[in-house]
Amino acid sequence: MPFVKIGKFIKLMKGELSGNKPVKKRFSWVINETKFLDFRKVRKLRETLEATRDIALREDKTVPVRDWFMVELGLSAGLRVEEMVNLKTSDLYLSKEQSFLIVRRGKGNKTRTVYFSKAFKQVCLFYLNWKEKIFPHSDYLFSSKNRVQLTKRALQKSFKKIIQKAGLDSHYSIHCLRHTYGSFLYKSSGHNLRLVQEQLGHSSIRTTQVYASVMDDEVKKAVERLYQD
């Protein structure tokens, strides 16, 4: 066998010298029940947080109120945890017509607009009013008592404690809030992948398509119930 340079050999193995381009790996991961919360679990999580929030307000505690808002933000805007910790008070736009927030340092350092409901607008107004009394002049939505921006790790650890308190499976991470938002938004939008893509800030529609897999189980259940009481 004639001597072949290492670089040329690698290209030969990849198929580049024969005119064949390397085959790109297909996007294979899917969203299933281990990665997002169903309606029952969302309700259980919210009920737990609302109860602890109310107690915290009476006892002048801060962490349960912050955690309540953190989960509502994840469920209502689908932000990545890094986007949460970088969010500032000035990034929220609460208008009568349509409220939204601006993610200024998203994945790939991209900026995007995320619209949200009137119900979450009221949550924001409550939290901002409370926050200004507890942590006045603090720029970040999530900060410590000395007005220092919280870390991703801090929110992740808080969420694990919340999950345990709500009696939900321990394998859920804070990222499940984003997947939950994407799954429910896909359904409520009439399966509008482009809308979900824009809200979540996916650079490729292929990434967003994983939420279509959520509907597979619903389809299976629906056809099994067809013509049955």
DSSP annotation string for 164-220: HHHT--TT--TTHHHHHHHHHHHHHTTS-HHHHHHHHT-SSHHHHGGGGGHHHHHHH
Provide Rg for the chain, Cα atoms.
22
In the chain, the N- to C-terminal Cα span, in Å, equals: 72
> What does the pLDDT look like over 72-107, one tens digit per residue?
999 999 999 999 999 999 999 998 888 999 999 778
Q: Using CA atoms, how far apart are residues 222 and 137, in angstroms rounded to an integer?
A: 52
**pLDDT band at residue 203, thresholds of 50, 70 and 90?**
confident
Q: Three-class SS of residue 220? A: helix
**pLDDT band at residue 126, thresholds of 50, 70 and 90?**
very high
pLDDT over 70 at 217, yes or no? no
For residue 210, the model assigns a pLDDT of: 86
Mean pLDDT of 101-116: 88
pLDDT over 60 at 3, yes or no? no
Asked whether the CA dihedral 166, 29, 181, 72 is positive or negative, the reply is: positive
Q: Residue 175 gets which letter from DSSP?
A: T
Q: Using CA atoms, how far apart are residues 210 and 219, in angstroms rounded to an integer?
A: 15
Higher per-residue confidence, 193 vs 21: 193
Please, which residues have CB within 8 angstroms of residue 154's CB and are 6 or more apart in sequence?
A: 85, 142
For residue 111, the model assigns a pLDDT of: 92
For tokens 């198929």, the residue is 15
For tokens 């006892």, the residue is 59
**pLDDT band at residue 110, thresholds of 50, 70 and 90?**
confident
Q: Using CA atoms, how far apart are residues 192 and 200, in angstroms rounded to an integer?
A: 13
* Percent above pLDDT 70 for the chain: 80
Structure tokens at 181: 């938002």
Active site residues: 80, 107, 175, 178, 202, 211
**pLDDT band at residue 145, thresholds of 50, 70 and 90?**
confident
For residue 27, the model assigns a pLDDT of: 44
Structure tokens at 21: 């381009």
Tell me the pTM. Answer: 0.82
For residue 171, the model assigns a pLDDT of: 94
Q: What structural domains and CATH numbers belong to the chain?
A: 39-208 (1.10.443.10)
- φ and ψ of 105, to 5 deg: -135, 60
Virtual torsion, Cα 66, 68, 72, 73, nearest 10 deg: 10
